[in-house]
Each structure stands twice: as C-alpha cells, then as structure tokens.
C-alpha cells in the first residue's frame, strides 16, 4: 500500500454505519413513533402501493458461539425450541396479514440468523409453507437462505429448493486453521466443497460466500490461501466484509484481544490483496464489500442501475415494503422503520398476547426521505444527483459542505448537480455517506455506536 493510501486510512478510519438504512438505527427518533402509527403506515402502504412484499425471517439459534459474530443469536443445543419459535413467527405473520387489507405478493424471502440450518428441514418447510399458503408469489421472486457449511445437509438444500429457494450463502470467513480456532468457527475446505457441489447439483443458481478480513491472526499469505480456495469453488457472489470489532456490544469478541487484530494499515492490505485476487478471477465489485460474477443477478442489477440495498444487504429485488419477522428483525415500509423485541422469551410472549412485537421505530421526515435516496444511490451506484427540487434539501447542502476534504483527497467528484465516487473513493463510501448523515452529525454520540470504517 502506498503512503497516500496509508495517510487516507489514518485520516478517515473512524467509527461509522454500514448504511443498510437511513437514518441508521441508533439515530431513530423513537419519541415520535408509536404502535398506532406503525399500524397506520402498514395500512397506508397497501392502499397507496402495489401488493409486493419482501420478507426477512430471523432464525436466531446457533449450537455454538462464533466469537466474531455481531448478530442477534441464541446459543443452545436444545432443538425443542424449533417448533415453538416457528409457530410464533407464523402467528406474527398472521398479525400483519390482518393489517394489510390486500393479499400480499411475495417478491423476496431471506432466512437469516443465527443459523437457519440449525432448524430441521421439515420444520423449515412448515415455516415456509405457513407463509406461502397465505399469499401469492411473484413470478420473479427470489428466495435465499444463510447456511452453515458444517450442518447444511442435502435434505436442507433439497427441501428449500423444492419450496422455491434458488440462492444460498455460506459463511466461510477464513480457511486458516489458526484464525478459525480464534473465532470459534472451524470448517474444512472439504466440507465447504461438498455443500457447494451439492447445492449446484440440486439446481441452486446463486451460491454466495461470506469472507471476512481483519480477523485475529490473519496474514497476507492466509488471505491469499483463503481466496485461492474460494476461487477453486467459484461461488457466484462474494461478500468480502470488514470485521466489525465491537466488544462493548458483543462480549464474545473479548475472547481475543485487540493486539491479536491486524493494524488499520495491515487490515487494508488484506482487503486490497483479496480484492485483487477476486478481480483477477472474474469477480466485479458491485457495491461496498460485495463482488459478483457477470452471470449473477447482483452484477446484472448493478449494470442495469437496479441494485437495491436494505437491512438484508444488497439485493437485485426492489420492494418498498420489507417485513421483518422473528426476534430483533427490522421492517421497512420506506416511510417508516420498526424493530422487533430482541429477547426470544419476550418476543414469544408478546406475539402470543396477540400484539405485533415491535419495541421501537422511526417515521421518516421529508428530509430523511431525500437523504435516504442519496445515500442509497451512493451505496448502490457510486453516484447521485439532485437536479430537481424534490431531490434537494437543507440537509443535502449541509452534507455537501462537509465534503471539502473528500473532494480535495479525490474520493469524490462533483458535477453541476451530481456527485460521483471515484475509484480511489470506493473504500471510503461509508465516510461519504456519513457526511450526508444529518441525524448523526446533529447527535452528540457520533463515535460510540459503530465499528471503524476500515
């Protein structure tokens, strides 16, 4: 890495959001939110818009704790929890159906966690059948799930495929045994190879891998070996994430010390080397931390300027309505957000009482909506523009005023009414969005909520 890049990392490596939404969750105005308003937003959304819905279903259970993980999980080896949890999710969905007033059309389903493949295949079938029996499915719907290579069986893959799932992502993280031991996520290359080949043989059209850089004890030679192994298996898309070290939120990360982590400059070297190898193998960087082969739907959506980003990450499917089901899941009605209760027992109790289990949310203001679109454009297109009055606001121009250093450092380029992220600026997209983040800039707690940008 050259000196200029090192200087940029030192300058811009500050805590910041990943911008799967705007405003980001810590800056929601919960005081102006209520369950009555949330229910009104649901009803309004179906009156004013089409019936298409994306569903995110959070399945929180894991048999063991991966110490790098920042997700909302529940560790247990007791599989008796499966049916009660699934029954609760279906009850929650029924509560939403009562408010929709129209039969929803499912555009997208994503099973996340936790470890969705903790659940037995027949129980996942019960869950998905219970959803699909209540609604229609779009002709171009896309269903995907996250699987652990060690416990995703052929029966899991076949059962979900038969239900309409054609996309699966596997958490690989790193193939180095030393790193795997440190993060408590041990899986062999052979197990990943087997589950990948099984998915392909069944007919899955998009197989994704998650790889993380910045993990404890990672080295350049280790990341080269990991990417070389990934190249051999040729997944369709790759999420190459920066490790988010937030031990004040996730105590499991205290299993290793900060001294075991690569320095900021070394971490960026890991990314640069990994990215170079991926690009040499035909992968195209389509958004922050995401790469895809040209045959994959994410790449095609990127080329067609149709890439979308929401709480599930990047997607080729767009709906203005995302319903999150399950503990801690977040819903997005475009004009409003809401998050479910985070504790499993409280979630189950609330739903069994016949109440939607939301505990906080945010109603977007007009300025929120304008800034949200610009941030979404930057994250998905590396570009945004504001030539019409409806695309302009005080918050936008205040944000532009905070971008002088970004422009001076050649991370962005302005047109008359537009902003473009340069190639040099792509590693710093979170910083660019932070300049536009009016709610974060107005807060007195700017640097306590997030992992560092690099």
pLDDT tops 90 at residue 50: no
Task: Provide the pLDDT for residue 449.
Answer: 61
- 276: confidence class by pLDDT, cuts 50, 70, 90: very high
Q: Do 157 and 95 belong to one domain?
A: yes
113 has binding-site annotation: yes
Tokens of residue 350, six digits: 């609330």
Question: Does the pLDDT at position 248 exceed 60?
Answer: no
In a domain, 421, yes or no: yes
Tell whether 120 is covered by a domain: yes
Does the residue 107 lie in any domain? Answer: yes
User: How far are the Cα atoms of 221, 365, 430 from residue 410, in angstroms, in the given order?
Assistant: 31, 32, 15
Condensed to tens digits (0 to 9), the pLDDT of residues 370-385 reads: 999 999 999 999 999 9
Q: Is the pLDDT of residue 247 over 80?
A: no
The gap between the terminal CA atoms of the chain, to the nearest Å, is 14
Please check whether residues 385 and 400 belong to one and the same domain.
Answer: yes
Q: Is residue 337 part of a domain?
A: no
Cα–Cα dist 234/293, whole Å: 9
Domain boundary among 301, 325, 349: 325
Check residue 246 and give its pLDDT. 61
Q: Are residues 97 and 15 in the same domain?
A: no
Report whether 115 belongs to an annotated binding site: yes
Q: Is 218 annotated as a binding-site member?
A: no
- The response to whether 56 counts as a known ligand-binding position is yes
Q: Is the pLDDT confidence value at 175 over 70? A: yes
Same structural domain, 235 and 297: yes
In a domain, 331, yes or no: no
Q: Are 84 and 219 contained in the same domain?
A: yes
The reply, when asked if residue 219 is annotated as ligand binding, is no
What pairing do the DSSP bridges indicate for beta strands 383-385 and 418-421? antiparallel
pLDDT band at 173 (very low <50, low <70, confident <90, very high): very high
Domain membership flag for residue 360: no
Q: What is the pLDDT of residue 6?
A: 76
19 labelled as ligand-binding? no
CATH number at residue 390: 1.10.10.920
Give the pLDDT band of residue 452 (cuts 50, 70, 90).
Answer: confident
In a domain, 6, yes or no: yes
Work out the pLDDT band at 251, boundaries 50, 70, 90: low
Tell whether 36 and 185 lie within a shared domain: yes
Question: Looking at 273, 305, 325, which one is the last position of a domain?
Answer: 325
* DSSP 8-state symbol, 365: P
CATH number at residue 188: 3.80.30.20
Per-residue confidence (pLDDT) for residue 249, from 0 to 100? 55
Helical spans, DSSP H, in 290-444: 297-303, 344-352, 366-381, 394-401, 404-408, 429-436, 438-442
For residue 169, give the nearest of 143, 138, 187, 131 by alpha carbon. 143
pLDDT at 255: 62
pLDDT (tens digit per residue) in 177-186: 999 998 888 9
14: number of Cβ within 10 Å: 14
11 and 30 in a single domain? The answer is no
Q: State mean pLDDT over 191-215.
A: 96
282 is in an annotated binding site: no
Task: Please indicate if the annotation marks 114 as binding a ligand.
Answer: yes
Task: Tell me which of 270, 296, 325 is where a domain ends.
Answer: 325
Q: How many domains does the chain have?
A: 2
Q: Looking at the structure, tell me whether residues 52 and 188 fall in a common domain.
A: yes
Find the mean pLDDT for residues 231-257. Answer: 76
Q: Does the annotation place 70 within a ligand binding site?
A: yes
- Residues 71, 219, single domain; the answer is yes
Name the residue range of residue 390's domain.
1-19+365-454
Together in a domain, 205 and 81:
yes
Model confidence at 254, pLDDT cuts 50, 70, 90, reads low
Average confidence (pLDDT) over 357-371: 97
Q: What is the pLDDT of residue 2?
A: 57
Residue 338 is assigned to a structural domain of this protein: no
Residues 299 and 414 in one domain: no
Residues 302, 379: one domain? no
Report whether the peptide linkage leading into residue 280 is cis, meaning its omega lies within 30 degrees of zero. Answer: no
Q: Note the pLDDT of residue 229.
A: 97
Whether 420 shows a pLDDT value over 70: the answer reads: yes
């Amino acid at each position: 890495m050259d000196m200029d890049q090192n200087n940029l990392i030192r300058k811009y490596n500050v805590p910041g959001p990943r911008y799967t939404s705007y405003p980001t969750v810590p800056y929601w105005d919960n005081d102006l939110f209520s369950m009555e308003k949330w229910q009104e937003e649901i009803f309004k959304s179906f009156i004013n818009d089409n019936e298409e819905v994306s569903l995110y279903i959070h399945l929180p259970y894991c048999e063991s704790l991966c110490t790098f993980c920042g997700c909302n999980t529940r560790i247990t080896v007791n599989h008796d929890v499966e049916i009660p949890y699934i029954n609760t999710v279906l009850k929650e969905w029924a509560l939403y159906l009562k408010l929709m007033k129209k039969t929803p059309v499912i555009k997208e389903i994503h099973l996340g966690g936790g470890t969705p493949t903790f659940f037995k295949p027949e129980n996942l079938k019960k869950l998905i059948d219970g959803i699909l029996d209540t609604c229609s499915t779009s002709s171009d719907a896309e269903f995907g799930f996250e699987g652990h290579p060690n416990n995703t069986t052929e029966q899991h893959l076949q059962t979900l495929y038969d239900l309409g799932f054609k996309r699966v992502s596997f958490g690989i993280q790193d193939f180095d045994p030393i790193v795997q031991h440190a993060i408590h996520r041990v899986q062999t290359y052979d197990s990943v190879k087997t589950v990948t080949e099984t998915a392909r043989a069944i007919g899955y059209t998009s197989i994704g891998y998650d790889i993380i850089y910045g993990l404890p004890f990672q080295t350049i030679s280790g990341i080269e070996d990991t990417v070389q192994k990934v190249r051999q298996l040729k997944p369709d898309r790759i999420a190459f994430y920066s490790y988010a070290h937030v031990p004040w939120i996730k105590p499991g990360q205290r299993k290793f010390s900060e001294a075991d982590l690569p320095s900021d400059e070394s971490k960026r070297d890991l990314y640069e080397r990994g990215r170079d190898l991926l690009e040499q193998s035909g992968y195209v960087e389509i958004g922050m931390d995401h790469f895809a082969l040209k045959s994959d739907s994410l790449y095609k959506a990127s080329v067609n300027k149709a890439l979308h980003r929401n709480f599930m990450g990047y997607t080729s499917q767009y709906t203005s309505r995302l319903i999150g089901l399950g503990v801690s899941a977040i819903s997005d009605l475009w004009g409003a957000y809401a998050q479910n209760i985070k504790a499993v027992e409280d979630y189950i109790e609330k739903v069994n009482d016949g109440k939607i289990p939301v505990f906080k949310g945010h109603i977007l203001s007009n300025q929120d909506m304008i800034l949200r679109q610009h941030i979404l454009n930057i994250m998905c297109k590396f570009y945004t523009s504001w030539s019409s009055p409806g695309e302009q606001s005080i918050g936008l121009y205040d944000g532009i005023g905070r971008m002088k250093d970004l422009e001076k450092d050649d991370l962005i380029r302005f047109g008359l009414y537009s902003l473009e992220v340069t190639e040099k600026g792509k590693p710093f997209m979170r910083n660019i969005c932070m300049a536009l983040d009016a709610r974060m800039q107005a807060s007195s707690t700017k640097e306590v909520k997030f992992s560092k940008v690099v």
